[in-house]
Amino acid sequence: MYSPIENGTTIDIQGLPCSIPEPGYVFNVVTKKIEYRGISQRSENPNEQYWERTPLPNWYKEIMKKEDEYEKKRKDNDEPFYDEKLEEYKKQEWDRRLNGYWFMNNGKPTYLTGSHYMYLQWFQIDIGYPRFRFPDLEYFYFLQYVIEDPNCMGMIEITKRRFGKTFRGGLFLYEYVTRTRMTNAGIQSKTGADGKKVFAKAVISPFKKLPRFFRPEYDMSLGITPKSEIRFQQTNIRGKKAEDGLDKEELGSMIDFQSADTIAYDGQKLHRYFSDEWAKTTEVNIYDRHEVVRYCLLDDEGKIIGKALYSSTVEKIETERNGIQDAARNLWNDSNQLNREENGRTPSGLYRFFMSADRAKNFDIYGYPDIERNIKEILADRESVKHNIRALSKRIKKEARTIEEAFSEDSDDCIFNS
């Protein structure tokens, strides 16, 4: 997305020129070459072409049983279990996860980044598997550009409630850490209790539902459903057998969460960081916390080695601390990718992405939102409470059509009509 691609196209996503290969081609991150993969389609009829998740093959469970039986009897010197059909399938899915995927959508070739494919095909959320939506397509293009840009520390997002932001954050951590050795990922939210919920909901729950070839070995001494952190290494054991696994390969990576405290991650190295509900922190100044986290994303020479994802809605927060909401607004203002410093970075190091409520519901089967209908519904909802200024202010924030509405003044603090 960041580097221009020969024979490809460029799409501007909120000020970032995202490069896409020509239809049917992908950039192979392993070979560093443009390679042909083709374009999938569910039908020859353009009207019946749209995203459709492909379930596991019928033979998959049976082969998994054979593998389990083999592993129970396998000795240390025996070869690992091998099935040619299974290996080809695993190779296909790993290729799509890393390099992306093309499919026909209403007669148009449509490219998914590897992370977006992983999200749609394998990452179960609270309502099942996600639907394909064009706002998400733009989101994942933007995020991929951010990940590839050497001068960017991450992405900061304002979006509508219940638009999948927390699960996308969980995927952002999981996708990188579970394929990269010795990496650390962390979570913070508006409170410590909320951080714990995000870890359980957006990391552990989807992880347990992934196919085995996307679930690396993890330390089960913390239980099969870890509560505080998940370590992708062999299970800790004691006694004489502890030395038997020293030479075995393992990722050595981990994902955890910390309290909302400003210095919770101070001094740690983070390769991925997710800040959930960053604009609604009640316990800390978010800009102060970001100043701590940004140094966790750098090496000792100031090179960016990690990426952060900040995601939130903006609503009235109850806190006696001064400057909390002003700090959120300042962090957003200092993340404008169209206003970079001489070193090529924004003041915060982040790039910002706003999702208008106009494009956040009423999707057709091809993933397009009915913008006209959405605007009518939003305005009608506001009209119904125009007599109640406080209620109107809250509804404007919950379904903000512009960033100015998202950060509008709260009527609770104003004796006049804000």
What are the pLDDT digits (tens) for 79-126?
Answer: 889 999 999 999 999 999 999 999 999 999 999 999 999 999 999 999
Residues 6 or more apart in contact with residue 388 via CB below 8 angstroms: none
pTM for this model (two decimals):
0.93
Look over the chain and give the mean of its residue pLDDT values, rounded to a whole number.
92
Task: Please check the confidence at residue 307 and state whether its pLDDT lies above 70.
Answer: yes
Tell me the pLDDT band of 246, cut-offs 50, 70 and 90: very low
Determine the 3-state secondary structure of 366 from DSSP.
coil
Q: CB–CB of 119/171 below 8 Å?
A: yes
330-353 b/e (C-beta count within 10 Å ≥ 16 → b) = bbbebbebeeeeeeebbebbbbbb
Q: Compute the residue count for the chain.
A: 418
The per-residue DSSP string of 258-283 comes to: --S-TTTTTT---SEEEEETGGG-SS
The per-residue DSSP string of 145-204 comes to: HHHH-TT--EEEEE--TTSSHHHHHHHHHHHHHTTSTT-EEEEE-SSHHHHHHHHIIIII
Give Rg (Cα) of the chain.
23
Would you say the C-alpha torsion 393, 398, 401, 403 has a positive or negative sign?
Answer: positive
- d(CA 175, CA 178) in angstroms, rounded, equals 6
When comparing pLDDT for 245 and 393, which is higher? 393
Q: What angle separates helix 114-122 from helix 84-99, to the nearest 10 degrees?
A: 130
Tell me the pLDDT band of 370, cut-offs 50, 70 and 90: very high
Which spans in 227-333 are helix H?
286-296, 324-333
Residues 6 or more apart in contact with residue 245 via CB below 8 angstroms: 234, 237
Strands across the sheet containing 272-276 = 229-232, 253-257, 184-188, 272-276, 307-312, 154-158, 350-354
Angle at the Cα of 319 from the Cα atoms of 313 and 323, rounded to 5 degrees: 80
Percentage of the chain beyond pLDDT 70 is: 93
Strand partners, 158: 312, 354
Q: Which residue's structure tokens are 């001094």?
A: 267
Amino acid letter at 386? K
